[in-house]
């Protein structure tokens, strides 16, 4: 049980008075903020509560992040923007067919992001974008546009090899995006509150959607 830790994210083990660990703080705050933003949304999350959950005082939060909006942006950068870049790398070297790549991408997306607390940010964004245009703009730049490019590349790959039909690429992107976003929205809104409501099994859902989309994109002759 070594004393120095690279910021164990869990709520800070009893911060006996002034603690002084500059390195760890931003990570702890970011983790607390992610939890609360996902749980309550942006507007309803109080800055003080974020600080409390990170085991620091209100003032300390603003020592690291100049405003609640900047805190949110940092959460997005930390937990989402990176995810997309990672994905870019992997997809470049995928060995299989483009249909398989569609399957792979959708499942990966789910496992690495959708099935994660971080995906709550996407739900939050859809819910509150209208009230926080600046954040929406930021999210567009950091997440949506790169995400679109990623999917677009995949579809273009399939079209280039002749495996996929010639489709309106720019909008065909949504045939991959929509099912995933729908699943994320569902998970963070409908699921977990409606006893009688339909439960979606993510893996089954993804298989069916990927199958239909891949079919839908594929060339009939192939």
Partner DNA sequence: AATGAATGAGTATTCATTCAT
Partner DNA sequence: AATGAATGAATACTCATTCAT
Closest approach of DNA to the CB of residue 13, in Å? 9
20 binds, among DNA, a second copy, none (CB under 5 to 8 A by kind): DNA
CA dist list (Å): 215 to 88, 165, 208, 220? 23, 10, 11, 9
148 binds, among DNA, a second copy, none (CB under 5 to 8 A by kind): a second copy
Q: How far apart are CA 183 and CA 40, in angstroms?
A: 19
Question: Would you tell me which residues interact with a second copy (CB under 8 A)?
Answer: 39-41, 43-44, 125-131, 133, 136-137, 140-141, 144-145, 148, 165, 167-168, 171-172, 174-175, 177-179, 181-183, 185, 188-190, 192-198, 200, 204-205, 207-209, 211-218, 220
Q: Which 10-39 residues touch DNA, going by CB under 7 A?
A: 11-12, 14-15, 17-22, 25
Neighbours of 153 (CB within 10 A): 15
**Number of shown-chain residues binding DNA (CB under 7 A):** 26
Nearer to DNA, 21 or 199 (CB): 21
Q: How far apart are CA 213 and CA 207, in angstroms?
A: 10
> What single DSSP character describes residue 22?
T
Q: Which 51-70 residues touch DNA, going by CB under 7 A?
A: 56-60, 62-63, 66-69
25 binds, among a second copy, DNA, none (CB under 5 to 8 A by kind): DNA
CA dist list (Å): 221 to 100, 156, 163, 165? 17, 18, 9, 10
Nearer to a second copy, 88 or 174 (CB): 174
Closest C-alpha among 32, 87, 34 to residue 60: 32
22 binds, among a second copy, DNA, none (CB under 5 to 8 A by kind): DNA
Nearer to a second copy, 57 or 140 (CB): 140
* Phi, psi values for residue 5, rounded to 5°: -130, 145
The pair of structure tokens assigned to 170 is 């720019």
Q: How far apart are CA 191 and CA 147, in angstroms?
A: 25
> What single DSSP character describes residue 2?
-
Cα distance between the two ends of the chain: 58
Residues of this chain that interact with DNA (CB under 7 A) are 11-12, 14-15, 17-22, 25, 45-48, 56-60, 62-63, 66-69
């Amino acid at each position: 049980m070594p004393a120095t830790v690279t910021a164990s994210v869990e709520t800070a083990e009893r911060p006996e008075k002034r603690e002084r660990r500059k390195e760890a703080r931003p990570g702890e705050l970011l983790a607390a903020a992610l939890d609360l933003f996902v749980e309550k949304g942006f507007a309803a999350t109080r800055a003080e509560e974020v600080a409390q959950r990170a085991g620091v005082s209100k003032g300390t939060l603003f020592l690291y992040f100049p405003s609640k909006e900047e805190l949110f942006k940092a959460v997005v950068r930390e937990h989402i923007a990176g995810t997309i870049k990672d994905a870019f790398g992997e997809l470049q070297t995928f060995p299989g067919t483009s249909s398989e790549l569609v399957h792979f991408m959708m499942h990966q997306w789910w496992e690495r992001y959708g099935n994660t607390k971080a995906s709550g940010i996407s739900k939050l964004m859809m819910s509150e974008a209208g009230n926080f245009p600046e954040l929406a703009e930021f999210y567009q730049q950091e997440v949506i546009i790169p995400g679109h490019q990623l999917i677009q590349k995949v579809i273009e790959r399939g079209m280039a090899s002749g495996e996929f039909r010639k489709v309106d690429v720019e909008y065909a992107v949504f045939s991959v995006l929509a099912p995933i976003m729908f699943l994320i929205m569902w998970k963070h809104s409908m699921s977990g509150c409606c006893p009688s409501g339909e439960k979606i099994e993510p893996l089954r859902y993804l298989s069916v959607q990927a199958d239909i989309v891949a079919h839908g994109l594929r060339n009939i002759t192939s």
